[in-house]
Chain A
């Protein structure tokens, strides 16, 4: 029974990691109606920039971080200027495909600048089981995971408050609904988008640091973004709490399926299980758990 709990908690915590990436998606989608397929590439880019800067300039993590933040902000501004501004008011699908192109571009750029070999990323928190939980509850849970969960919670709370309470948040929601209308009432679209993508870049950095510390900074990081898709499907594309819940469900179910069903069918079902789960879920609720119902008038 303990083993089950360990797998479950392990899954939940890896779900938290997925949620971190999903939050970046939700942020951009909620605020501009763009499904940013390049979020995974941005995670990889951020992590790679951080370790790359540490390697090339020989500095510590604490110096590399602000540099990376600056780079991500510049990246956000560049994306807004080069990709989004010319595509204002195009249909969603066009913007989605543009972000696919962007993903490829960012991946290539990252590897061009810093090389493609796997690198280690050391964060101050060690990936060891929490003594406290071991002693009191006899459960093996890493300190690292706990911190990741805390960071995630903090991030979501901050962003949720930003959206609902501030003027900028309201402007972002307006932009998500209708670009032209937002422009017509005087919302400074370009500036808002630049801010938005810079913030998404920082969210990507946080996710990149945590994932990179866990798995090493490598190209496979971009596939994490793909895993975020089932998370978003479950949670709805426009809900931050939904991203968390979706992440937890996907993480937990993925691990449990791998451990309990996997051996029966030859293993490796982690690769498709979340997607099939999301697919089945969509059949029942086409707009996700927390998503907004789409009503079409005719």
Chain B
């Protein structure tokens, strides 16, 4: 009743092409942004900000990057964490060696470095597909992390291999408290999500989806396979690189190459599987799910007074079971469930 499209006509293609065509959606989005920007920093505790909201946003960005590569362009990748690592360590080195470099620019440069690595390791995708490509991306994952561990220059000759992220200062304003970091991360993620959505609904996105669905036909109608695939790797790695930099600078503070291990790559893959492969909203939903689940399990374990080893094993089991559950029940993930919910809402309170 409240949520319906009846009466909302589009009289131009520009209007038809909006990201949120339904008025109620736009209102909801503005309300959510208002809450996120104004209410949350005021009301949320530093714990919620630092341990839940900031990682949620950062992982959403990484999941978005992986979704671009795996969901939209169809190139299965298990090397997400490696690109995040490149972004983090590249940003670190840029800030370290170029005095006075603006922090945001350093993040962009970190992302670009990750993009270059992504293009290099994406070259095999021109010949290899499917699981084989996934196995090849494992090479990326292990090799990149090894490089970061073994090349002392990259960790500034630190004996333990750990780097400490420099404080974020933009135009004299220091982002050192959780709520300031949160707002910075929110801004970055919101802008990049908008850019991603724009790309996806334009020719670039169509070229990716064409290559994913049937690459021989895509080639026949004029898409250049190499350019499309490498661009997917580049853009995806850029997003993961920026996410990795934020992971180090706005979340962990001190970070070592091993923090970007295969386990992290799998976590992000799980985020897009559960959230919805090939969906911007799905990246966010999946990230929220995966970030909140351990917290929830911890709470349950505490209330049942289970030892931590049991809790961590239960976490593994619940993760695994949920993946299987989602793949059986709704292979398109939470995003599809959301869509179905909205469609039901359009009709509510009528049954059909």
Contacts and interface: CB of A to CB of B under 8 A. Distances in A.
A contacts B directly (C-beta below 8 A): yes
Given A103-B320, A275-B142, A283-B128, A108 B273 contact: no
Interface in A88-145: 90, 92-94, 96-98, 100-109, 111-112, 115-116
Q: Identify whether the interface residues of B are mostly helix, strand, loop, or mixed.
A: helix
A101 B323 contact: yes
* 3 closest Cβ pairs, A-B complex: A101-B323, A105-B320, A108-B316
Contacts of B136: 275, 278-279, 282
Chain B interface size band reads 35 or more
Interface stretch (B35-43, B58-66, B94-102, B307-315): B307-315
Given A112-B310, A272-B143, A275-B143, A93 B323 contact: no
Interface stretch (B21-29, B107-115, B324-332): B324-332
A99 B211 CA distance: 26
B306 to A, nearest CB: 10
A97 B327 contact: yes
A286 interface: yes
A230 interface: yes
B324 A101 contact: yes
B124 interface: yes
B321 A101 contact: yes
B32 interface: no
Contacts of B316: 104-105, 107-108, 111
Given A96-B131, A100-B266, A103-B320, A108 B314 contact: yes
Given A101-B319, A286-B127, 12 more contacts: A90-B327, A97-B269, A97-B323, A98-B328, A101-B327, A102-B320, A104-B317, A108-B317, A111-B309, A116-B313, A226-B138, A286-B129
Interface residues of A, number: 47
Nearest to A266: B150
Interface of A: 35, 82-83, 86-87, 90, 92-94, 96-98, 100-109, 111-112, 115-116, 226, 229-230, 232-233, 237, 265-266, 268-269, 271-272, 275-276, 278-279, 282-283, 286, 296, 298
B258 to A, nearest CB: 11
Contacts, number: 124
Nearest to B152: A266
A282 B273 contact: no
B146 interface: yes
Contacts of B309: 111, 115-116
A105 B314 contact: no
A112 B143 CA distance: 32
